[in-house]
Structure 1
């Protein structure tokens, strides 16, 4: 007799960084991998360096409580985030604090707590920051005309991890942008006219069953009704079918993200980029 599998546990995890968030993502995923059937619903906030940016983060945390992991050097912002979470009973973890404290004791000196101190101010750093700025400015269909200057344009229906994949690519100095595929909304005219030397277009595919599951959990995390057309099985199946037909019609490269992590998707895109650059 087989033991029934325990159902997956979903929870919100907010990753707040005053830098690129790469450290937070790596640590969070390594920790979650130690628990069976645990599915974190990631909320990523990058380059949080002002009161206004932190206000948005706190509104998101209040709308979808969970756990908060952060790397913020500014003492005032840290204190405000910690106080906000403490008042609402939200668990927080300053991911680098223990490591910095231990190293300080060993060396006998104090840390300087500078923002993004792990990045040397060389050309590699500036190239990375330029890619990140480009990606943030061209996220979720923003500034679509500027996408002609991208290295990669990701297309996909809602909840196919377009934004975190783009940010991960930006950390690898790839100028990435993304456009959501919304039923009834046409793509920009230039998209279907891109030549071989233009941006590489990659379609993110996902199974309808997996997408329904992700969307329903997202609605639950936001305390919204999960029984809407956004997560309706027939509507989602049609949405996915239309997206796949679009990819096929334009002969765009595709990656199935149904069971892939963001890192795996980004690695596959980097491989496609390297192959393409070798052919041009």
Structure 2
């Protein structure tokens, strides 16, 4: 008989707030979490936050799902507003670049210029990346579906299959990515199933029903909502996943199982598929 005690995963909310692409935050957050066993961060990503209106939305999200906040924001007014809000609500914050910038400033004997997205040179590569990011943000979660004909890749998947963070990650690699959620009873835009080999690459994100139930229940718990709803009901989720898989199979779309993949691994697999297609 196995007497080894079972170790349950620890779930927590982590809010990544950036006035740029968020690539630095994502890399540091994942590197830090990898040092802890059985820790599963529930990521909330906010990119290109450069106005008080955008920050207000971020703070509402933080209040709804308390956790930890890591940020890279250069604007002093926005920084102070975010820090003050988090102190009032007892939320831990970390300006991830401050220590590195301060150390480098002391070594060089000069002050940093606090430039937004200063790591990005204003060359063709930069503008291509920003164009991809703007496209992705405009075509996230089923928005502006008619414009998806201009995408490099379209991701389809049921709720909580990491469609948005994967698209943003791809955009940072200059890939114009959009995504459409598969919602029971809601048909896809007709043109999606008619896209030919010269159109955007359509990829279905698959996930096991067991894993999806776990993710959705933890999401509801983090939002202080009832976890016993049809959204996380095992039978309903299993049917939802089955219908999605049948859709992928019927259209002979490429699929990626994201049940145990990180966003980086999913994006890497998509980039490989895009490269194969170009070749």
**TM-score, with length taken from structure 2:** 0.98
CA distance in 2, matches of 1:4, 1:251: 44
CA distance in 1, matches of 2:183, 2:230: 13
The match for 2:252 is 251
Give the C-alpha shift of residue 49 in structure 1.
Answer: 0.2
CA distance in 2, matches of 1:136, 1:9: 30
Q: Does 1:55 align with 2:71?
A: no
Give the C-alpha shift of residue 190 in structure 1.
Answer: 0.3
Give the C-alpha shift of residue 45 in structure 1.
Answer: 0.3
Equivalent position SS for 1:254:
strand
CA distance in 2, matches of 1:132, 1:111: 26
Equivalent position SS for 1:80:
helix
Give the C-alpha shift of residue 269 in structure 1.
Answer: 0.0
CA distance in 2, matches of 1:12, 1:150: 31
Give the C-alpha shift of residue 183 in structure 1.
Answer: 0.2
Per-residue deviation, residues 117-147 of structure 1 (Å, max 9, x unmatched):
0000000000000000000000000000000
CA distance in 2, matches of 1:199, 1:44: 25
Give the C-alpha shift of residue 4 in structure 1.
Answer: 1.6
CA distance in 2, matches of 1:41, 1:248: 30
Equivalent position SS for 1:142:
coil
Q: Following TM superposition, where does structure 1 have runs of at least 4 consecutive aligned residues deviating by more than 2 angstroms? A: none
Per-residue deviation, residues 138-178 of structure 1 (Å, max 9, x unmatched):
00000000000000000000000000000000000000000
Give the C-alpha shift of residue 180 in structure 1.
Answer: 0.1
Equivalent position SS for 2:90:
coil
CA distance in 1, matches of 2:141, 2:266: 18
CA distance in 1, matches of 2:87, 2:79: 12
Give the C-alpha shift of residue 3 in structure 1.
Answer: 2.1
CA distance in 2, matches of 1:11, 1:170: 26
The match for 1:84 is 85
Per-residue deviation, residues 78-123 of structure 1 (Å, max 9, x unmatched):
0000000001110000000000000000011000001000000000
**Runs of at least 5 residues in structure 2 that lack an aligned partner in the other structure:** none
CA distance in 1, matches of 2:164, 2:122: 26
CA distance in 1, matches of 2:190, 2:183: 15
Q: Does 1:226 align with 2:230?
A: no
User: RMSD of the alignment, in Å?
Assistant: 0.5
CA distance in 2, matches of 1:13, 1:143: 28
Per-residue deviation, residues 24-81 of structure 1 (Å, max 9, x unmatched):
0000000000000000000000000000000000000000000000000000000000
CA distance in 2, matches of 1:191, 1:109: 54
Give the C-alpha shift of residue 6 in structure 1.
Answer: 1.4
Give the C-alpha shift of residue 268 in structure 1.
Answer: 0.1
**TM-score, with length taken from structure 1:** 0.98
CA distance in 1, matches of 2:262, 2:16: 16
CA distance in 1, matches of 2:223, 2:90: 17
CA distance in 1, matches of 2:5, 2:167: 37
Equivalent position SS for 1:174:
coil
CA distance in 2, matches of 1:192, 1:66: 40
CA distance in 2, matches of 1:236, 1:65: 26
Equivalent position SS for 1:121:
coil
